[in-house]
Amino acid sequence: MIHGQSQAVKEARVTDLWQIDDELGEALQPNEQEIAEHICALITRGMKEQVAKTGPPARRDVHSRAHGCVRAEFKVVESLRPDLAQGVFNPGATYRAWIRFSNGNPDMKRPDAKGDARAMAIKLLDVPGEKILPDERDASTQDFVLLNSPVFMACDAKGYFSFLKRQDSSNPITVFFAPLALGIKGLLIGLKMLSSRIENPLAVRYWSTVPFRFGDPPYKQAVKFSVVPHARAARLPIFARSRFLRARMSAYLKRHDATFDFMVQPRTSPAMSVEDSRVEWPEADAPFYKVATITIPQQDFANSTHDALGERLAFNPWHALPQHRPIGGLNRTRRVVYEATAYLRRSLTGVSLQEPVD
């Protein structure tokens, strides 16, 4: 931040993408803007090639294979201490929501018995207040995007670009060794993420993986999020087919509500890196606190209406109130990529860019 300014001016400017918040531990990396644009160009080119090859619709560049899009309720805890009662977490507030569960691997025929990264993307409705993204300033929604891993395999935009560039090579040997671009630590995290085998997306814990600002001064702090299920996982059949997880979700929601605790983990030490997303914040030193309950009521979501909505929706961690601004290098890169790919996907598919209102 630029010191010597009034707090109000500093807080207003922090919604700008490249205006870092050093009070929360952010530090702009060398050539970060240029690298983000290179990553964006690489990913959007791949999306255009996919449409040219298979025809529309244009699919998401990541987590394009959905298990389902479901209606939900997000209820904030009735009593919260002041540092946790920030942004959307107004004690007692209740929001309607849409939640999309997905696999990382885009192969629609890939057996669900195989390991993969899994995602839970939440879109709250009827959220008052101006949002960060200029084109969606007046939108009434707020997004949270989570993975079933507390850490991510790339520490910064440079390492992630190197990995993606090698993956995009026409040389199969270069592609095979692409994960080495992440370093040993990143490689091990990536292998663990991609080997995750789950039995039901409704019985899995998810994390934001990367950090976020939480609240306004004097309570402004860096946090990570996590969503903890109430349902217990069962055994995954060895030969689970490609639609097994969707079928398991569908069967569960025909008989039960699904419930999750939405948790916040305040950062308690500078050693808990904001810029290196490979660093896990130990829960023994930085505990999670419950701030809301997510309830997915019994419903039949496995139909063309819900599937079409899930494809139209775009989830972006930057689609948020300033009190929940994403922080750290990977989040800054995500803003460039998510905005460009969402616009491209929708323009190639010919669907509206408007956020849902119900």
pLDDT in tens, 238-269: 888 989 999 999 999 999 999 999 999 999 99
Question: Which of the given ranges, 40-49, 83-92, 154-163, has the highest pLDDT on average?
Answer: 83-92
The pairing of strands 221-229 and 65-76 is: unpaired
Vertex 282 angle, CA 277 and 283, to 5° = 125
Q: What is the rounded average pLDDT of the residues 146-159?
A: 92
- Rounded distance between C-alpha atoms, residue 140 and residue 98, angstroms: 13
Higher pLDDT, 40 or 148: 148
Higher pLDDT, 154 or 19: 154
- Rounded distance between C-alpha atoms, residue 168 and residue 178, angstroms: 9
Q: What is the rounded average pLDDT of the residues 311-323?
A: 92
- Rounded distance between C-alpha atoms, residue 84 and residue 90, angstroms: 9
Domains of the chain, start order: 7-349 (2.40.180.10)
- Rounded distance between C-alpha atoms, residue 138 and residue 147, angstroms: 27
Task: Examine the pLDDT at 53 and tell me if it is beyond 60.
Answer: yes
Residue in 95, 97, 115, 91 with CA at minimum distance from that of residue 105: 115
Q: What is the rounded average pLDDT of the residues 298-325?
A: 93
Task: Examine the pLDDT at 353 and tell me if it is beyond 70.
Answer: no
Global model pTM greater than 0.85: yes
Q: What is the pLDDT of residue 12?
A: 34
Work out the pLDDT band at 16, boundaries 50, 70, 90. low
Cis peptide before 218 (omega within 30 of 0): yes
Work out the pLDDT band at 9, boundaries 50, 70, 90. very low
Helices 157-167, 329-349: inter-axial angle, 10-degree rounding = 40
Q: What is the pLDDT of residue 13?
A: 37
Give the chain's mean pLDDT.
89
Q: What is the rounded average pLDDT of the residues 290-312?
A: 94
Is 352:345 a contact under the CB 8 Å cutoff? no
